[in-house]
Amino acid sequence: MENNKKRPALGKKRDIIILGIVVILLASWMLWSFLLKPRFSSPDEQVYAWIFHENELLHKVALDGEIHTFNLELEHDQEIHKLQIETYSDYTIAVVKSNCPDKICVNTGKVSIMGQSIACLPNHVIIKIGSQDNPIGEGGIDG
Ligand SMILES: [Zn+2]
């Protein structure tokens, strides 16, 4: 009879220990996710794509996984510049279609890293990957 009473008691004690470990793990995970992790990632980490035409900012879009499509139809010196730009769920942006002759912009493919850029010189369009405050990127469309 005594043995039978002790067994559940031991079982309960072990359950409490396991429960305690689970609670501690869960608490650490929550502490990490909600308190510590946001502090490590600076607000500059959100990447933005800056879309320029003739050095004029047309769109600034966060590459946060949201899918957007921009159909640009711009007139310049009696030429029509047509581009289709898309953002993807993998935090990238790309020129999908363009009416430029060289298609360098389309062939550049997806970009997502700060400092990268997509240039369409015939259409005077440049997409620069930067932070929320600064477009960073090689190349320009001056001149
Ligand atoms: Zn192009």
Q: Are residues 60 and 29 in the same domain?
A: no
**pTM higher than 0.85:** no
135 C-alpha vs ligand 1 centroid, how far in Å?
A: 20
Model confidence over 77-132: pLDDT tens digits? 888 999 999 999 999 999 999 999 999 999 999 999 999 999 999 999 999 999 99
Residue with tokens 């942006």: 93
Q: Which two tokens stand for residue 112?
A: 């997502």
Q: Are residues 65 and 122 in the same domain?
A: yes
Q: Which of 141, 120, 142, 137 is nearest to 47 (CA)?
A: 137
51 C-alpha vs ligand 1 centroid, how far in Å?
A: 13
Higher pLDDT, 93 or 1: 93
79 C-alpha vs ligand 1 centroid, how far in Å?
A: 14
Residue 85 backbone class (left: φ over 0; alpha: ψ -120 to 50; beta: rest): beta
Q: Which two tokens stand for residue 116?
A: 């990268």
Q: Are residues 34 and 50 in the same domain?
A: no
* φ/ψ of residue 33, rounded to 5: -70, -40
Is residue 137 a part of any domain in this protein?
no
Model confidence over 5-57: pLDDT tens digits? 556 666 788 899 999 999 999 999 988 887 766 665 555 579 999 999 988 99
Determine what percent of the chain is predicted with pLDDT higher than 70.
Answer: 82
**What is the domain-level CATH number for residue 86?**
2.60.320.10
95 C-alpha vs ligand 1 centroid, how far in Å?
A: 8
Give the residue numbers spanning the domain of 61: 43-130
**What is residue 101's DSSP assignment?**
S
Q: Are residues 18 and 49 in the same domain?
A: no
How many distinct structural domains can be found in the chain? 2
Is residue 70 a part of any domain in this protein?
yes
Q: Are residues 99 and 126 in the same domain?
A: yes
Q: Are residues 63 and 103 in the same domain?
A: yes
CA distance 80 to 77: 8
